[in-house]
Amino acid sequence: MTTRDQVEVLDVVLGSGCTFAAYRLPGGPLRIVAQHRAALHQVDLKAEELVKDSFVIVPFDRSGSRISYISPDVPCHDPLQVSRDLEACESSVPSPGPRVIRDDPAVHQAIVQQAIEAIAAGGLRKVVLARSTCEDLPEKAIPALFFSFLEQYPSAFVCMVRTPEHGLWCGASPERLMHFRGNELYVDSIAGTLPLDRAPLHAEAWDEKERDEQDLVTQHVERILATIGPVRTIGPNVLPAGPVAHLHTVCTTRTDLRTATSVLEKLHPTPAVCGTPRRAARAFIEQHEPLDRGLYAGFWGPWHGDRGIDLYVNIRCARLFHGRAELFVGGGITAASRPEREWSETERKAATWRGVIASLSSSRIS
């Protein structure tokens, strides 16, 4: 498809109300997949029949071993053909309802302080706390927003998804949860954040707080992969991501598809989006975080079984609804955290979206 055809197909699937995913792996082509059925399919990761040629969508608050996915049954190559094919699709647009977004620096910083005190008391080493904030985004700007991220973030996994369970989401994530090809399994460990213009070029020059935060994620990944085979660890290195930079380590081992699938259940949520110990961190999030994460900090991506799996953690994302974009951002809290600094970190992460939305408002939206 030409870029013009891709824009037209995306316009068609957005206007049809169908369940769909549009995505681009780093360095790959844009792909759009859709299904006639509105509700997502589900499968148990422990079942004999695994997902094939599908797009997996899993929220942060996943329970059990079941995952949801889109099973494409609509060819999305020609704008005219896809328009005819989607005439009979079930609507995936959720019923409109009020969404109250409370974004108060004092509230977030107070929760961060409670987390620091809980860590000092023992039983909790790290917890990731999220907040959301809203920006105006006219519905006619949604395709332009998506294509802007494709252009500006070539090394990110850029994705747009709509389901009746979750609504319409868009994300541009640098964090790969799992890459599986030819019996090679790769898992990213990404944590620690600094402004890009203040981030040292070498990981060893970063502050102890950021290095410790990232090391907790790496240890979690290494422990899990070590249960299935020898682990090779590459990093940490510095990973630029828009206006910020992160510490990035890659852990890899050899295994088969069945074992890789079992590892997925143990990996998520990692300390990069939840904390450690996991049970204590999840309990703190449930008790203190004043928002519904939805798909934020979950994972999504194409699943082709033996031919490959590419799953990304859904960070740097937004839920789009009623002419607004709810931006989700978060940060890892450790004993060395400071509430004001943690607020500033989330503001820098939100700046990625705000900048793109502002450019659309000034140059493309009349």
Tokens 């068609």 found at: 12
Whole-Å CA distances, 173 to 70, 103, 228, 253? 20, 23, 27, 23
Q: Which of 140, 175, 184, 265 is catalytic?
A: 175
Nearest residue to 152 (alpha-carbon basis) of 287, 335, 24, 306 = 24
Residues 293, 267, 163, 349: is their CA dihedral positive or negative? positive
- Terminus-to-terminus CA distance in the chain, angstroms? 28
Whole-Å CA distances, 78 to 16, 75, 84, 90, 115? 15, 8, 10, 20, 51
Q: For residues 252-275, b (16+ Cβ closer than 10 Å) or e, as one string?
A: bbebebebbbbbbeebbbbbbbbb
Burial class (CB in 10 A: 0-12, 13-18, 19+), 81: middle
Query: What's the token pair of residue 69?
Result: 């996915």
Q: Give the DSSP per-residue string, 50-64.
A: ---SEEEEE-SS--T
Nearest residue to 334 (alpha-carbon basis) of 248, 276, 252, 288 = 276
Coil, strand or helix: which one is 307? helix
The rounded Cα 84 to chain-centroid distance in angstroms is: 32
**CA pair distance 157, 241, nearest whole angstrom:** 12
266 labelled catalytic? no
Q: Which of 126, 210, 213, 345 is catalytic?
A: 126
CB 331 within 8 A of CB 342: yes
**CA pair distance 243, 4, nearest whole angstrom:** 29
349 labelled catalytic? no
Whole-Å CA distances, 295 to 212, 256, 258? 27, 28, 25
Q: Which residues are marked as active site? A: 126, 175
